[in-house]
Amino acid sequence: MSDKYRPKAFADVKGAATKIQSVDWWTPPSVFEKLDIEFDIDVASPVGGVEWIPVKKYYTKEDDGLSKDWQGTVWMNPPYGIATGSWLDKFVKHGDGIALVFARTDTRWFHNYALNADALLFTKGRLAFINPERSDTTTSASGSLFVACGEKSVKALEKSKLGWFVRL
């Protein structure tokens, strides 16, 4: 492939600024409005939390939420990448909450963990995530997938109308 056509980064492909330092991409408030559920804990929150996430407690990177005990209904938008499987494994074993990940049905973590949840919801369109270092939003590089465990979370996904809902 000629360098002329080779993208240098996701931001180049999307036409966004390439000097973003933060790896935080926050779930937009409209998602929580449609889910209409309160969570007990956000297990992968940015430092200081996100004001529009309806959660009572949160763990940040400094807390290492993956190593902590989780209690109650969990909200999880984990760090994307190689550790996604570890996060989803723990999430499904916990059995109560909603997780948001890329809709990557070809991955091991999808087959090993997501398919063991109680329900999935494939978003209609791509979510516009919020980066705290920018004043605009950036649409995801691919579709997103909500993973639900526990009846309360399953019902919230089903009622949300955020996309194609599948009870497993």
Task: Give the residue extent of every domain in the chain.
Answer: 23-167
Q: What is the reported pTM?
A: 0.83
- Looking at residues 45-63, what average pLDDT do you find? 92
- Asked if 44 contacts 87 with a C-beta cutoff of 8 angstroms, the reply is yes
Query: What DSSP letter does each residue of 59-82 carry, written as one string?
Result: EETTTTGGGS---SSEEE-PPPST
Q: Taking the domain 23-167, which CATH number applies?
A: 3.40.50
Per-residue pLDDT, 139:
60
Q: What average pLDDT does the chain have?
A: 84
- Asked if 111 contacts 73 with a C-beta cutoff of 8 angstroms, the reply is no
- Looking at residues 115-129, what average pLDDT do you find? 93
Per-residue pLDDT, 137:
57
Per-residue pLDDT, 81:
83
- Looking at residues 64-83, what average pLDDT do you find? 93
